[in-house]
Structure formats: C-alpha cells, structure tokens
Structure 1
Amino acid sequence: MSKGPYRRVHRVLDTSGWYCLAGEYHSCGQCAGTFVSYDHRLLRQLPDGRRGLFPAVLTQKLACDRAVIVHMRGRTLGNSPTACRNSTAELHDDARTALATSYYDCRRNQ
C-alpha cells in the first residue's frame, strides 16, 4: 500500500547526462514496516527478469545507470577512477554534440 512520495530524489549518472529517480513509501501489512519502492529488500523479491529492468545501481549517496556500468566493462580491467570519469565525460560530450547537431539541422531545414 502506497504511503506517498519519498522525500529524497536520487541523481543518477547516465551515458548521456543525468536523470532523477524518485520513489514512494510503501507499507507492509505483515511486518508493519515502511519501505521505499526501490529498497533492495523489495527489489530482490522480483523475478530476475524484472529485477534486471531496474535502471540504476544505488548506494547510500550515489547512483549510476546500468548503461554506464556496461560501457565500463568493455574497457580493460584496472582502470582508475579518473579514466572512468574521463570516459563518462566523453560520452556526455558526444550526447551534447549529437543534440546540438540535431537542433541546428532542424533550424536549417525550416
């Protein structure tokens, strides 16, 4: 049963930028507990196929989209955090360039 929105919104790192992930409180009738909709105790009850659809990996303070993790796995093992940051920054630059190019193409065709 839903008990309303959760007050904290996670800012999630994605390959094309950032997005926000919001949740809501749910109450359990059996244990009288209250859980956030993306709590790991709730997510692990889902079948593997459904659990894999959840878009992000969450920690206490940070969140990362699974697409970024998949992209980093393609790299060699032992990359430093700086190399991962630089690679993600390059992906963000590519996404911004593609967006700007499509904008200018639309303006030119008008």
Structure 2
Amino acid sequence: MWRLKLVCPHADCNKRELISAGIHQKVRQVVDVSGFYNMASEYLQCTDCDRKVISWSHDILSQLDVGHRVQFPCILTAMLACDMQVILLLRNRGLGNSSSKIQKKLEEQHSEAHLKKQLHYLNDCKGFSDAMKTGLVVNIAF
C-alpha cells in the first residue's frame, strides 16, 4: 500500500524482499474506547527462503519509519489487541486512577455507545412501522 520494501527478518536469509502471501486466518477483535472493532492482518512471504511472517510482528514493524508506524491504530499481540486510545488511558494511570477504574470507565462508555446504537435502530424501526400502517411496505418483523 505504501510501496515500501520490506525484507526477510531471518538471519540466514539474504535479506530478500517480502511479498504478500494472503490474509492471516485469525481476525483480532480490538478494544476501543467506545466499543470494539475487527482487525485483519496480512502474511508476508520471503521470495528466497519461502518462510512466512505476520505483518504486525516486531521484525516487520521495526523496518518502518516513525511516520508509518504511528498510523497503526492499535497494538496487536498473539492473543489480544488494544486500540491506541486505550493505551493512552493506561499510560496516564496514577494515584486514584487504577486499571480497574479505567476498565469501569471503558465499560460505561461501551454501554453508552451500545445504547446510542439501539436508539438509532429503534428510531429506524419506527419509520418502517409507520410505513407499514399506511401500506407503503409489507409487514416486517423486527
């Protein structure tokens, strides 16, 4: 996407360029401040040794300049993923601002975002319900 040359991180390889080898089979669910989102990753394959490397590995990210690295919205690990906004909240911990307090704050914000989505959905349902009463659309089960 950025037209950057990424090379194979393995020591016994000749630093050959990596090419795309498809999407990684596991999609990560990322914790965000207002909810969750999904993040897919790409496999990269060496043209010399044919080994595959996941695109979010430290060996690959360390080849990027700072300007490109800061464009990643989250931190991915083998098991979990966390948005950078949540990481910033965790960095600002201090007296009276424990990780459990931040967790409760995130749960509250997730609940508020979910409530807004439900209200939006129900408002759209009301419009269809009114249209059913006037005969504009056939009966719809919500």
Tell me whether the two structures share a fold, i.e. TM-score over 0.5: yes
Q: Deviations over 1:18-64 (max 9, x none)?
A: 11111121112355431112222111211101101111112221110
C-alpha spacing 1:74/1:29, structure 2 compared with 1 (3 Å): closer
Structure 1 window deviating more from structure 2 (25-34 vs 41-50): it is 25-34
Measured after TM superposition, the shift of residue 86 of structure 1 is 0.4
Instruction: Provide, for residues 84-104 of structure 1, a one-character-per-residue CA deviation record: whole Å limited to 9, x for no partner.
Output: 210110111222233344456
In the TM superposition, what are the counterparts of 1:1-110 in structure 2 within 5 Å? Answer: 1-30=19-48, 32-70=50-88, 72-73=89-90, 75-77=92-94, 79-103=97-121
Q: Distance in 2 between matches of 1:2 and 1:75?
A: 38
Superposition RMSD in Å: 2.5
Over 3 Å counting, the alpha-carbon distance change for 1:73 and 1:85 in structure 2 is closer
- Sequence identity, in percent? 33
Gaps of 5+ in 2: 1-18, 129-142
**Corresponding pairs, count:** 109
Task: Compute the TM-score of the two structures, normalised by the length of structure 2.
Answer: 0.63
Larger strand fraction of residues = 1
* Larger of the two Rg values belongs to structure: 2
Any gaps of 5 or more consecutive residues in structure 1? none
